[in-house]
Amino acid sequence: MTRADDILRPMRRTIDTIIDEDALRDRLDSGAQLRIKYGVDLTAPDLHLGHAVNLWLMRHLQEHGHRVVFLLGDLTTRVGDPTGKSETRPVLTDAQIDENARAFLTQVSLVLDTSPEVFEVRRNSEWFDRMPVAELLTLFSMTTHAQLMARDMFRDRLAQGREIALHELTYPVLQGYDSFAMDSDLTIVGSDQLFNEMMGRQYQQRLGSRPQSLITTVITPGLDGGPKQSKSLGNYIALTDMAGDKFGKAMSLPDDLTGVWASAYTTLDDARVAELTTASARGGRDARDAKLAMAEALVARYHGADAAAREREAFLRVFSEGATPETTDAVQLTSPVLTTLALLELARPDLSGSARRRLLAQGAVRVDGTLLTDPDLALTVRDGSILRTGRRTWTRLDLPA
């Protein structure tokens, strides 16, 4: 077995495609340190388990001595409306960029090793800020309109009669050039980034470098069984979620996805994943136990085995084993849709308004394990959901039949 085999084998489970695998294997076999491009857009620093699949692959490569180059795409955060009239495109100030970068780094460091031997932070403004316009246009000249229009996102927008601004059309080129400028050997991305990273290969080749290899990863359904986790759908587990939230959310997954989640989001070995899949199919207590095992392994990866075991115990005590919390009331709601504050008023009439707001501010309010902090958030409550307020108060929420 070659060194490349050895490194790639445990990665296969979450890899969808490898582009230019031969080159990747050569590089891994050579023993040289690979430079792995991890490019991010600074406007949305909110990572969930779906993103972490890629990060764990990078972490694995770091453990074999390879280097992740965390590339902040700060150039495009400074593209905006010079008249200052548009609310829709706020230009980020340098301070905001730094703040977002720090927030990103905090999240990334929950998975990646950030020691300087295997981690490096770069910004693409390093090369674009000193690039003359004529050179940028020269880069543009290596790509055609037809090639750009082949990109799904652009094609779909045209088909829907939506606008594409000219600067958006140039972004694949900029992202492609990044790969050349930072000397990327490999990048691990979602399939939505495949087009832009293929541009990277094209530009590296045109400019005389070895093209990077590409790995795309499997996409795993969200908590609601929908195609993937997404912030706008609220069907995700954030990397920054506390252990209890991660556990509770994982337990809300449909039974038939337990095996898929175990494969994508835990380090349980393939045999154990197969067992969990089979147990889930049997339903009932077996399915519940399989999901508990998945949730525990998921939490253990981020918070350690002890914390995971504790969360399992707490979960079982409250929801499964019929243990009696200090208080368990039920409240009858007239509608499933209401704000957090309205819910608290119904469920905790014993508290003052300011006491309720304090609970929210302290992070002491959860519905089915999901933390609620915004008093004005519009909730959609399911019949039988459990509201927890403070450490020891649980309220069951009943909806009209």
DSSP conformational letter for 189 = E
Nearer to a copy of itself, 167 or 317 (CB): 167
Residues that bind a copy of itself (CB under 8 A): 75-76, 78-83, 89, 125, 128-129, 131-138, 140-146, 148, 154, 158, 163-170, 173, 206-208
Q: Which two tokens stand for residue 286?
A: 């077996």
Task: Look at residues 325, 324, 253, 351 and name the one whose alpha carbon lies nearest to residue 49.
Answer: 253
Residue 231 CB, nearest distance to a copy of itself (Å)?
24
Residue 210 CB, nearest distance to a copy of itself (Å)?
15
Q: Which long-range contacts (CB under 8 A, 24 or more apart) does 369-373 make?
A: 369/244, 369/245, 369/247, 369/248, 369/249, 369/251, 369/252, 369/315, 370/245, 370/248, 370/249, 371/241, 371/242, 371/245, 372/340
Could you identify the residue written with the tokens 């300087």? 116
Q: Which two tokens stand for residue 192?
A: 């939505």
Q: Please enumerate in sequence order all residues whose Cβ is within 8 A of that of 257, keeping only pairs 6 or more positions apart, or say none.
A: 221, 225
Q: What residues form DSSP beta bridges with 61?
A: none
Residue 96 CB, nearest distance to a copy of itself (Å)?
14
Residue 31 CB, nearest distance to a copy of itself (Å)?
31
Q: Report angle CA 46, 50, 52 to the nearest 5 degrees.
A: 75
Residue 78 CB, nearest distance to a copy of itself (Å)?
4
Residue 313 CB, nearest distance to a copy of itself (Å)?
52
Nearer to a copy of itself, 1 or 165 (CB): 165
Residue 195 CB, nearest distance to a copy of itself (Å)?
14
Nearer to a copy of itself, 148 or 198 (CB): 148
Q: Please enumerate in sequence order all residues whose Cβ is within 8 A of that of 286, keeping only pairs 6 or more positions apart, or say none.
A: 279, 280
Q: Which two tokens stand for residue 50?
A: 């779906």
Nearer to a copy of itself, 128 or 195 (CB): 128
- Size of the chain, expressed as the number of residues it contains: 401
Q: How far apart are CA 322 and CA 36, in angstroms?
A: 49
Nearer to a copy of itself, 42 or 333 (CB): 42
Nearer to a copy of itself, 154 or 319 (CB): 154
Nearer to a copy of itself, 168 or 256 (CB): 168
Residue 142 CB, nearest distance to a copy of itself (Å)?
8
Residue 171 CB, nearest distance to a copy of itself (Å)?
9
Q: Which two tokens stand for residue 396?
A: 């069951």
Task: Look at residues 372, 371, 364, 369 and name the one whose alpha carbon lies nearest to residue 340.
Answer: 372
Residue 94 CB, nearest distance to a copy of itself (Å)?
12
Could you identify the residue written with the tokens 């548009």? 86
Give the three-state DSSP class for 206. helix
Nearer to a copy of itself, 110 or 207 (CB): 207
Q: Other CB atoms closer than 10 Å to residue 62's CB: what's the count?
A: 21
Q: Which two tokens stand for residue 293?
A: 């095992």
Task: Look at residues 18, 13, 101 and name the one whose alpha carbon lies nearest to residue 56.
Answer: 13
Nearer to a copy of itself, 171 or 261 (CB): 171
- Look up residue 91 and give its amino acid: V
Nearer to a copy of itself, 137 or 401 (CB): 137
